[in-house]
Amino acid sequence: MLKIESLTRRYPHVTALDGLNMEIGHGQLYGFVGPNGAGKTTTIRIISGLLRPTSGKVWIDGIRAEKETRVLKSKIGYVPDFFGVYDNLTVMEYLEFYSAAYGIDEKEGRLRASEVLERVQLFHIKDRMVDELSRGMQQRLCLARALIHRPQLLVMDEPASGLDPGARRIFKEVLRSLCEEGYTVLISSHILSDLADMCSNIGVIHQGKMVLEGPIDEIMTSIDSSNPILIEVYQNLETAVHLLNRHPLVSRIAIDKNMISILFTGSREEEAQLLRQLVEQKVLVTSFRREHNNLESVFFHLTDPVQGGTTV
- Please report, as ranges, the residues that interact with ligand ATP according to CB under 6 A: 11, 14, 16, 34, 36-42, 190
Least distance (Å) between residue 92 CB and ligand ATP:
32
Name which of 36 and 88 has its Cβ closer to ligand ATP. 36
Name which of 10 and 110 has its Cβ closer to ligand ATP. 10
Name which of 191 and 243 has its Cβ closer to ligand ATP. 191
Name which of 37 and 215 has its Cβ closer to ligand ATP. 37
Give dist(CA 144, CA 173) in Å, integer.
14
Least distance (Å) between residue 78 CB and ligand ATP:
14
Name which of 104 and 212 has its Cβ closer to ligand ATP. 212
Name which of 152 and 310 has its Cβ closer to ligand ATP. 310
Classify burial at 75, counting beta carbons within 10 Å of its beta carbon; exposed 0-12, middle 13-18, buried 19 or more: buried
Least distance (Å) between residue 83 CB and ligand ATP:
16
Per-position b or e across 28-49, b if 16+ CB within 10 A of its CB = bbbbbbbbebbbbbbbbbbbbb
Give dist(CA 308, CA 312) in Å, integer.
12
Give dist(CA 153, CA 75) in Å, integer.
6
Least distance (Å) between residue 38 CB and ligand ATP:
4
CA distance between the termini of the chain: 30
- Which stretches of the chain are DSSP H helices? 40-47, 69-75, 91-101, 106-119, 135-147, 165-180, 192-196, 216-224, 237-246, 268-280, 295-302
Least distance (Å) between residue 49 CB and ligand ATP:
16
Give dist(CA 231, CA 240) in Å, integer.
9
Least distance (Å) between residue 120 CB and ligand ATP:
24
